[in-house]
């Protein structure tokens, strides 16, 4: 009969093994939210080597790469419909005639990192081979191609357990030996924010995004609809350096949004400490959209090293207000005209209070989109501006050190 001491030791060993098996990801790869571009929102499965190279060159020419957009991620549709005789995924030779490794090398030479897509089910969402049952084989293949980022979807999973599925692929990436950001695209149904911190670097919180202001179409949601779904996550301690809530790729610059709505979309993603993954056709974007995506001060809010996600403070039919605590005693505030018409939008910054209390001290107020210093908060805390429907004022309150 086993002694009590041996039983306790065995239980401790099993618990340690289980914990070790669960904590798999390569740490330190996403200390701030990842930034880059993904092919799905605009091109779906119509992707190719030429497209990726053209996008990469545009990111260089437009200043996006230098602004921090370094990940280029190929979504669904990069492989053939069947695995080869050895069970390996095969890049579509018409789309990628030189293979994935060649494209990865080309991107790495130009200062980018390269990502691929697959799925935890038997097939991907577009019907290509999924990774279920092939996790370790696929991870080794990605490592051999020098892949830096894996987006892992949740279609065709039947009754599979989400925690098991994503932990298995996380282990497979670890055992393949190449550090990769692991993006869990599970749509939030199994609350990955509660269990995935040690499994991946970011996790989707909702279904897919679509380029419309509000509402839903099948499994896709408008930008404002997704924002409303983030409210409880912002006031809970789920996100932070190396583990981020992901409200999906951006629709900034896509035709279903006005310019004001694109500016609002980008601003709120920065307030939420969301990954900034562009999803528009960068080769035809306007100067106004380029200016939104490359605004250094807005990006600095998103990339703040404290990594504290912002939250909504106020919601009325006419106005919404979001706040975010930043490093160094600074704060960010975003005031949105939520109405359907142009109107004067006014808010007193002294009204903001958080779970931790009110912002303390005095601040210099900067209107980021206007690139204008508005003065000191102690002298005038009321911000007022005429805004188009769904446009925003994005403010940085820089703490004045005594």
**227 CB contacts (<8 Å, ≥6 apart)?**
247, 268, 272
Spell out the SS3 assignment of the chain. CCCHHHHHHHHHHHHHHHHHHHCCCCCCCCCCCCEEEECHHHHCCCCCHHHHHHHHHHHHHHCHHHHCCCEEECCCCCECCCCCCCCCCCECCCCCCCHHHHHHHHHHHCCCEEEEEEECCCECCCCCECCCCCHHHHHHHHHHCCCCEEEEECCCCCCCCHHHHHHHHHHHHHHHCCCCEEEECCCCCCCHHHCCCCCCCEEECCCEECCCCCCEECCEECHHHHHHHCHHHHCCCCCECCEEEECCCCCCCCCCCCHHHHHHHHHHHHHCCCCEEECCCHHHCCHHHHHHHCCHHHHHHHCCCCCCCCEEEEECCCEEEEEEECHHHCEEEEEEECCCCCEEEEEEHHHCCECCECCCCCEEEEECCCCEEEEECCCCCEEEEEECCCCEEEEEEEECCC
Q: Which are the catalytic amino acids?
A: 153, 208
Paired with 117 in beta bridges are: 151
b/e per residue 314-323 (b: at least 16 CB within 10 A): eeeeebbbbb
Q: What angle do CA 276, 70, 142 make, to 5 degrees?
A: 105
Question: Distance (Å, rounded) from C-alpha 83 to C-alpha 80?
Answer: 7
């Amino acid at each position: 009969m086993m002694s009590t001491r041996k039983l306790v030791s065995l239980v401790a060993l099993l618990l340690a093994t289980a914990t070790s098996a669960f904590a798999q990801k390569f740490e330190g790869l996403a200390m701030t939210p990842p930034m880059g571009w993904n092919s799905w929102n605009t091109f779906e499965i119509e992707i190719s080597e030429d497209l990726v190279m053209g996008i990469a060159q545009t990111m260089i020419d437009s200043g996006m790469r230098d602004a921090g957009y370094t990940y280029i991620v190929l979504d669904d549709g990069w492989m053939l419909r069947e695995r080869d005789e050895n069970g390996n995924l095969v890049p579509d030779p018409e789309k990628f005639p030189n293979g994935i490794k060649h494209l990865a090398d080309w991107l790495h030479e130009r200062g980018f990192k390269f990502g691929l897509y697959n799925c935890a089910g038997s097939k991907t969402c577009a019907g290509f081979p999924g990774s279920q049952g092939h996790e370790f084989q696929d991870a080794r293949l990605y490592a051999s191609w020098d892949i830096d980022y894996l987006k892992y979807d949740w279609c065709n999973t039947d009754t599979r357990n989400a925690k098991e599925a994503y932990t298995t692929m996380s282990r497979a990436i670890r055992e393949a030996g190449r550090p990769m950001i692991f993006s869990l695209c599970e749509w939030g149904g199994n609350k990955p924010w509660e269990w995935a911190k040690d499994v991946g670097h970011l996790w989707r919180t909702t279904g897919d995004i679509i380029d419309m202001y509000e509402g839903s179409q099948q499994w896709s949601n408008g930008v404002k609809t997704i924002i409303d779904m983030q409210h409880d996550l912002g006031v809970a301690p789920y996100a932070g350096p190396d583990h981020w809530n992901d409200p999906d790729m951006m629709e900034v610059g896509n035709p279903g949004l006005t310019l004001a709505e694109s500016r609002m979309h980008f601003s709120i993603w920065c307030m939420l400490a969301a990954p900034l993954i562009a999803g528009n056709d960068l080769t035809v974007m306007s100067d106004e959209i380029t200016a939104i995506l490359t605004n250094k001060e807005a990006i600095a809010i998103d990339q703040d090293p404290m990594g504290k996600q912002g939250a909504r403070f106020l919601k009325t039919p006419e106005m919404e207000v979001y706040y975010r605590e930043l490093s160094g005693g600074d704060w960010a505030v975003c005031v949105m005209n939520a109405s359907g018409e142009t109107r004067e939008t006014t808010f007193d910054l002294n009204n903001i209070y958080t779970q931790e209390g009110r912002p303390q001290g005095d601040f210099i107020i900067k209107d980021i989109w206007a690139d204008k210093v508005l003065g000191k908060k102690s002298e005038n805390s009321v911000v007022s501006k005429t805004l188009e429907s769904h446009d925003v004022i994005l403010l940085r309150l820089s703490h004045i050190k005594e």
